[in-house]
Structure 1
Amino acid sequence: MDEHSIDQAGEGEFDEIVEVWEASVRATHDFLKEEDIVYFRPLIRNTYLKALDVRCIRRRGHQRILAFMAVSGSSIEMLFIHPEARGKGLGRKLLQYAVEEMHADKVDVNEDNLQAVGFYEHMGFKTVKRSALDGTGKPYPILHMSLDKT
């Protein structure tokens, strides 16, 4: 039996989800400036999470969120793992769930987040387009990736 479960996140869990997001970003997004993290934190908490289908993964029988993803239509908008839970297959599990259960086949990734780019490539995603700016107009190039279904 799998020791982790994936479930829908409620708005009452958004503060904890943002804590996971921030811990993950600080561990993996060394290209971001402190003011960027401060800028994005309330946007994620008060805008993005409310507009997306958010799923969390936790150890069975425990309440603590280890990782989460947020999906809109066929696009994975966020997938973040708490640094203490990295390397345990949770990203793979969330991604497989997104593809198989939520029919997601697209993801945008910060080009400078080489670990994430490598992860998605390993999972069968290919870069189909590049944008010089992120969605908020900041100078962080984005790779638009799609699941290669060939």
Structure 2
Amino acid sequence: MTDTTIREPREEELDRLVDIWLKCSLISHHFIDAHYWQEQKDAMRGLYLPLSENYVAEVEEGIVGFVSMMGDYMAALFIEPEYQRRKIGRSLLLYVKQNREAIHLKVYAKNGDAVNFYKQNGFHISGTGRDEATGEEELFMEWRKKD
């Protein structure tokens, strides 16, 4: 396991988070046209990240992932591809679970790796829907703290 520090990002690091988001989105959401993700880049930097409660995962080499929360809604969890499967995503999840009773998220049904990751970390599918912007099926997933 990689030695990971979890902390809040500094303003000057937001571009790094957008770079991670875009790179991961293009790979994990390969079933959606790349142009769509490119068009979302400014909104991610200027709107979504500033409105979210963000935490970064930092290793010796620098920031390699992040999680964005909006209350109990997980808006984003992305880890650089070369750092996946090193328990960094799990560390970020455990961090945000600490002070919450529940977490909800949406994930594309075709993103099987993410669906499996969330299931392995205590989430279950609570419903389905369709993303209006892409037309893709989404799974609604949730985690609840056990008594």
Same fold (TM over 0.5): yes
* Pair 1:143 & 2:139 matched: yes
SS of equivalent residue, structure 1 residue 88: coil
Structure 1 residue aligned with 2:6? 6
Instruction: Provide the aligned length of Structure 1 versus Structure 2.
Output: 145
Structure 2 residue aligned with 1:23? 23
Structure 2 residue aligned with 1:96? 94
Per-residue CA deviations over 1:55-74 (Å, capped at 9, x if unaligned) read 001115x5x21000000111
5+ residue gaps, structure 1, are none
Q: CA RMSD in A?
A: 1.8
Give the TM-score normalised by structure 1: 0.88
- Whether contact under 8 Å (1:76, 1:105) holds in the other structure is yes
- Whether contact under 8 Å (1:71, 1:104) holds in the other structure is no
Distance across 1 between alignment mates of 2:107 and 2:138: 5
- Whether contact under 8 Å (2:100, 2:145) holds in the other structure is no
Give the TM-score normalised by structure 2: 0.90
5+ residue gaps, structure 2, are none
